[in-house]
Amino acid sequence: MTLFKKETLENIAVELPKDDLDLQDQTRQEKLRKEILYYQNVLKKFRLSFEMVVEHCPKDIEEKKYIVTVAKKLIESEDLKRFFQKKQIPIRQLKD
């Protein structure tokens, strides 16, 4: 259980001194911020959060390898992509 106040990234303002950053760093940070917001929204569609992912992330290396294998199956299979787009996780098909 987390003891910190949950906030979305939209509500967090990070002020960095512009003199210390060149334009490339600013662009990279903005891209990263947009990518994080994108994945935050994807997780939200499944009623998940980054906190939940971290809390339930496996510690065992073999479990992590299995999760990567499952993710690759989701990406590579057109049939499995359709389930994913419907916000369903096709457990039976992933076990094969």
Q: pLDDT 10s per residue in the chain (96 long)?
A: 444 455 555 566 556 555 555 778 888 899 999 999 998 998 888 788 989 988 888 888 999 898 888 878 777 877 767 776 776 666 776 665
Cα distance between residue 44 and residue 20, in whole Å:
34
User: Both 87 and 68 in a single domain?
Assistant: yes
Give the end-to-end CA distance of the chain in Å, rounded to a whole number.
Answer: 34
Residue 48 domain boundaries: 18-57
Cα distance between residue 40 and residue 51, in whole Å:
10
Counting the structural domains of the chain, the total is 2
Q: What is the structure's pLDDT at 37?
A: 93
Token pair, residue 36, equals 């994080």
The HSE-up count of residue 35 (CA atoms within 13 Å, CB side) is: 6
User: Both 48 and 32 in a single domain?
Assistant: yes
Question: What's this model's pTM, rounded to 2 decimal places?
Answer: 0.49
Residue whose structure tokens are 């992330």: 57
User: Both 62 and 95 in a single domain?
Assistant: yes
User: Both 31 and 50 in a single domain?
Assistant: yes
Query: Taking a C-beta distance cutoff of 8 angstroms, is the pair 58, 68 a contact?
Result: no
Q: What is the structure's pLDDT at 14?
A: 58
